[in-house]
């Protein structure tokens, strides 16, 4: 594992505004590491404490100092991501995702109603047409009863699956039973129950999901995420954590290494940022992303450089997380 001084010597902190408020985030901050293998991204959300955020640092170190698994494909299909916007804004959001025929739609937004969700999903269906795929993401915002009723209404628009409709693994398990008993044909995907869990395999053991959503950074790197997918033995969708193109390239590497890839991946969210650190940014063309490493652009690092106080904050955060890692927790 690299020494802390080496990490800090190659550290750049950026602050990039969002085009649309997403997950409550209006400005995305990220710390980028430069090492012998290239660039890695350390960008856990600000509220994450060191025990959780340290996994994100492990992933960044893997990218900057290690090697990713050999790819099985040269391009990865991606979905569009529709935040909790009004229906009239949906076409403009979808237009940023060139060639995407699948859309993930945020639902269960605090302060909004199920009718807001229905109207948004209906607008997406109108924009994509009958052949487009739609998945919804509640980020654990519903109870089992609320999810059952919401998915009953939303299923009229033909859902590919519902991502993390309830917060706990037990609730996801109970929801699958409730949906089956009610004749509601919607698959359940686990996201937070995988990436924020001490035991991500528990989802599979309790038969709480039909598929898993995996993110590289929260799971500690491409190798570790691939191991989780193999252990779960469920279909997998690779997603991002609102990354710059540097972090996104690690997600693409994971998707490229999966034995099977039957679903478009949530790796197109660079389009939600006002800027990026790579030129050209890693955005989908024709609905796909190319597989391979990217190079941060020095001029863009300067353009989006965070203020000095935020740089100090991120350096301290890297230090706190580094102290929790050892050679066994970082895969070369």
- The residues that are catalytic are 106, 215
CA dihedral angle for residue 62, residue 6, residue 27, residue 84, rounded to 10 degrees: 10
Work out the angle between the directed axes of helices 308-322 and 50-65 (0-180°, nearest 10): 90
150: Cα within 13 Å, side-chain hemisphere:
31
Closest CA to 31 of 268, 328, 301: 301
Percent helix, strand, coil in the chain, to 5, is 40, 20, 40
Do residues 165 and 175 make contact, with C-beta atoms less than 8 angstroms apart? yes
164 with 140: CB under 8 angstroms? yes
Which phi-psi region, left, alpha or beta, contains residue 184 (left: φ > 0; alpha: ψ -120 to 50)? beta
- Distance of alpha carbon 294 from alpha carbon 280, whole angstroms: 10
**Smallest Cα–Cα separation from 216: which of 36, 23, 66?**
66
Strand partners, 265: 78
Report yes or no: 99 and 78 within 8 Å, Cβ to Cβ.
no
Q: Distances in Å between the alpha carbon of 87 and those of 101, 115, 142?
A: 18, 11, 21
**How many whole angstroms separate alpha carbon 125 and alpha carbon 118?**
10
């Amino acid at each position: 594992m690299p020494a802390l001084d080496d990490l800090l010597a190659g550290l750049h902190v950026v602050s990039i505004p969002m085009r649309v408020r997403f997950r409550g985030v209006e400005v995305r901050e990220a710390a980028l590491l430069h090492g012998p293998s290239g660039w890695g991204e350390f960008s856990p959300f600000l509220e994450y404490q060191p025990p959780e955020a340290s996994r994100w640092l492990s992933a960044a170190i893997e990218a900057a100092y290690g090697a990713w698994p050999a790819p099985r494909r040269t391009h990865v299909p991606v979905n569009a991501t529709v935040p909790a916007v009004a229906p009239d804004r949906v076409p403009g959001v979808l237009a940023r995702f060139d060639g995407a025929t699948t859309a993930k739609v945020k639902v269960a937004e605090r302060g909004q109603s199920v009718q807001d969700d229905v109207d948004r999903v209906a607008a997406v269906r109108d924009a994509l047409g009958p052949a487009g795929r739609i998945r919804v993401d509640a980020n654990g915002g519903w109870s089992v009863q609320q999810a059952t009723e919401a998915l009953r209404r939303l299923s009229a628009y033909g859902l590919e699956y519902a991502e993390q409709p309830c917060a706990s693994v037990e609730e996801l398990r109970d929801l699958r039973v409730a949906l089956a008993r009610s004749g509601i044909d919607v698959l359940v995907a686990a996201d937070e129950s995988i990436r924020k869990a001490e035991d991500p395999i528990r989802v599979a053991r309790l038969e709480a999901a039909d598929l898993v959503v995996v993110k590289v950074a929260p799971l500690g790197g491409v190798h570790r995420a691939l191991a989780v997918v193999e252990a779960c033995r469920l279909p997998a969708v690779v997603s991002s954590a609102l990354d710059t193109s540097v972090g996104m390239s690690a997600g693409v590497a994971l998707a490229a290494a999966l034995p099977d890839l039957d679903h478009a991946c949530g790796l197109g969210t660079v389009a939600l940022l006002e800027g990026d650190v790579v030129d050209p940014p890693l955005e989908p063309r024709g609905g796909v992303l190319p597989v391979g490493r990217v190079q941060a652009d020095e001029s863009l690092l300067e353009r989006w450089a965070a203020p000095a106080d935020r740089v100090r904050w991120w350096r301290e955060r890297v230090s706190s997380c580094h102290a929790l890692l050892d050679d066994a927790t970082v895969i070369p």
